[in-house]
Structure 1
Amino acid sequence: MLRVLVVEDMVIIRNGIVALLKKKYNFDVLVASNGLEAIDILNEFKVDFILTDIKMPKCDGIGLIKKIRDENLEIPIVIISGYGEFEYAEKAINMGVSGYLLKPIEDSAFEKTINKILKEIEDKKKQKNILDEYKGAKEVISELGTTLLIQDAIFREIDITEFDEVKHLKGLKFSVAILNINLKNNEEKVFDYNDLNLVKYSAKKIISEMDKEINFYLIDSPNCANQIIIFFYDKDETNLENNTYKFCQSISENLKKFIKLEVSIGISDLSSKIEKKLYQQAEDYLQMRFFRNDRNVFKYNKIKTSIITDGIIERIALIEKYIQRGDLINLRLIIESLFVVNVYDVNPKCYISTILNEIIEIIIKLYGYDVYNLINSKIGLSRYIYEVKDTEALVNFIVKFIEEIYEIKNIKKVNNENIPVQVKKYIEKNYSEDLSVKKLAELFNVNYSYLSAIFTKEIGESVVSYITKVRIMKAKKLLENTSADIGTIAESVGYSDLQYFYRVFKKNTQKTPMSYRNITKKVQ
């Protein structure tokens, strides 16, 4: 039985969370009213995951999370936050929490978050079992020596031809594939770098046990933590040519099937020498993943390196213009157009690097190096480039980067000036739908936190408060003017949970729906 710790200073909310957990799951539930009590419990009991409030007396959620991280306890943590606590929530998210729930907690969001945590616990348990098996096994020393020598030949350009461990490779043909673990998988879970060794071992074990139509060694990349090098060799050039691509496709399919791991693979040309050029070719072609999100295995082809054309120069000039104007919509369109290229006409790695450098130069020119450096240290542009999976994600990140500059410099975005009014009208028209700040932010193509802040500033109340106000107003009219039952009215104004509707209605009117109907009927 899994044990969960609920940390919440408000008794009503704490009891509600415990009731939800016991209703839906078979957990051993422990409770604490603040971070200090939680730390005492953690010293006495093994806990599988934690649900904690952010703002509490004595020791708040941030302090608790910091203590847990300082003790190197690998416990999944879900934070519970009220509206207006975005700054605290952001700190917690940056400290590596696994989930985020907003008060009042909705049943569906609660269940989805808990199920996600359970899946993470199960996945980690499976990976630990694999690691235990790995630790108990003895590696074959000769194979280890061979892979280390091949690694030296590729990355340090050392001549290894006279070593006994590689004499069996003399006279053969070679190819290199780079397997890049996409740090964001289908479920948008970001792998912790500390877990990468487990992930890579799981991947290598699956690859090693596949039917071998081709000979290969698996080598860790000294350049990139989330890459595995596959070194192919064969005396038959045709066999090597025909089977590398097919084998890599099977690798991709098996990793996704068995451990839900998404990868991209770049494959080099053939060579009679073990040399760095093979790695460079594979790396170049791996960059095709930015342009082709319909596939994830890419084989080397002769590609041109000419990059900057007159059309690209014109579009880069427009980028500067749109950044200055705060015109995010046209900025996004022009950046997207820069990444719509014929992938066989340019070197993808060089192209992406060149375009990014041009954009960075514009940012530094307009706002100075200090601003660029501040944001880069905050959200890690250089690291993100290695994690991003396709051009859409890359464009989103570049626009987010520029939005961060606007936040720092207090620049008003041209196309976002009337967004609060648009959101307000949308809520008034679509109050019966499943509305949330996140969904509205996605719909209007703005940052979640930015929408919350700008709506409150312009309208005078939070998005959630306004949704509630509109729904209660509509419910009051239906109670006054129709004989529809309370459940029907609740659903028609956007509440699928009748009890929750009762609570919200009473909180906002000081009356239950039925008593409100009776009072208004008497008045009429």
Structure 2
Amino acid sequence: MYSILIADDEKKEREGIITLLKRYGFDLAITQAANGEEALKEFQKKKFDILLTDIKMPFMDGIQLIKEVQKRGWNPVCIIYSAYGEFEYAQNAISLGVLEYLLKPIRLDAFEELFHKVIDLCKGKEEAEKERERSRQAYEEVAAYKLSWNLLGYLESEDTEIRDRVPFMEETEHEFDFSQNIGIPVLLSCYSNLFSIEWEAYQNEIEKQLGGRMLIINKADNQILVILIKERQDSRIKELKKKCEMLIEQSKRKFQTDIFIVLGSGADSLKQLKREYEDMKDLLDYQFFVSDSMLLVHDESYFAKKEKDMLSLYFERIINCAKMSDYKGIKKEMVKVFSYIEKQNGFSSIYVKYTFSDAIKKINDLTKSEIDLLEYIERIYEARSFEEVSLIVYDALDDMAENRRSDVKENRLIHMAKDMIYERYGDSSLSLSTIAEELNVSSAYLSSLFKIQTGENLVKFITKYRVEKSKELLTQSNIRVGDIARAVGYISGSYYISIFRNHEGCSPIQYREKMNENS
């Protein structure tokens, strides 16, 4: 329903206009004003689609009222009606863009015809406003996508120079306004397909629980990165922890999924944000301390209590990597061990030498390597510094990698996992956790083994295969994008579009148009 404000100092005139509007069936929300000043106050309370005003009124006349309304940025359809037909009034009305200048007494046929025209104008303005809003939203979505793409590219890169690595970083710095704000990263992770199945609903849940300005980045590997943009004085971590705890609670209650969250401490520059993000990714290692059903929030006191468990975790991972002859993984975990011990106090030299001698012996046995272990163990015990021990261990690992007795080959477990993906990619429930469950292994083990055997992340492999199958449907059929999304395993069309953009750099529709042009 459109709204109209009728301004006239004569009550009978206002009532007469209202009677005519009702007689001709114009369903309008009607407000009255006895003069220009009163009308202006009504405009300050609400927006009107139509202004019908007399010329001569006390305090403020009709021409001045229209000028004041337009000065404030309001843009109603304006109609003047008056008993005065002077040229000066008509000229002023035309200069203000008034739709019609009606003379009293008003002809009934002219009145009805005019308001049909007014309603059509209101409909046109409404549609134009909707189109502007759609364009604005589309622009904001593209801008947010570009910002997310560039920022994630920088955070995931090994480079530290911002402008050399990622374009548009000036826009990112401007968006964050680090002079006034800080960026607080929040990393969410789960083994289920929650983020792909319930993307829009869960995105809304994140916005509802965490609140305020934020950038939500879908990492497409069962992880979401949220950057909260907070004013420096409004960056209380304790309150954010409570909000994260509520998000975890709602994830379990509404979505029946356990979420692991790492909450960062905040950054006042992109470089600091990158360092924070890298530390947070390392903290995801703590998922291995908990069962799938347990919920954790990054808390300094919690991690302080867990520090004593880290060494056993690293060596457990080293043993798992050794079982799969993953020397790259062994060295990665060994770096963490050396860094951890270097930062701690209380480790005796004998303990350190024994620990690493025992470690390389176990690695050698599990990888079936043929090296002179005795030589390396003797060198470790003769070492005079911790740095020397670390160099000897790295030498031993390099030697094992060169002399192992058997090459790593893609095993039966990986073949079975791939076959499940090829056959059931259209099943929205297919995920790392469901595949691992059917193969009777843990999600963490299957993920690590798949990475070693194929060089790819299993979750990303599923995503990549689904995108490739969707590209076939886009180029070989006229099936709607929403139906294609469901055909390749995505319940949410918007989530599928987000995934597709991440992989192809354009939307599915743009990809289809591009392929059709080239064919």
TM-score (norm 1): 0.33
Larger RCO, structure (CA 8 Å, separation 6 or more): 2
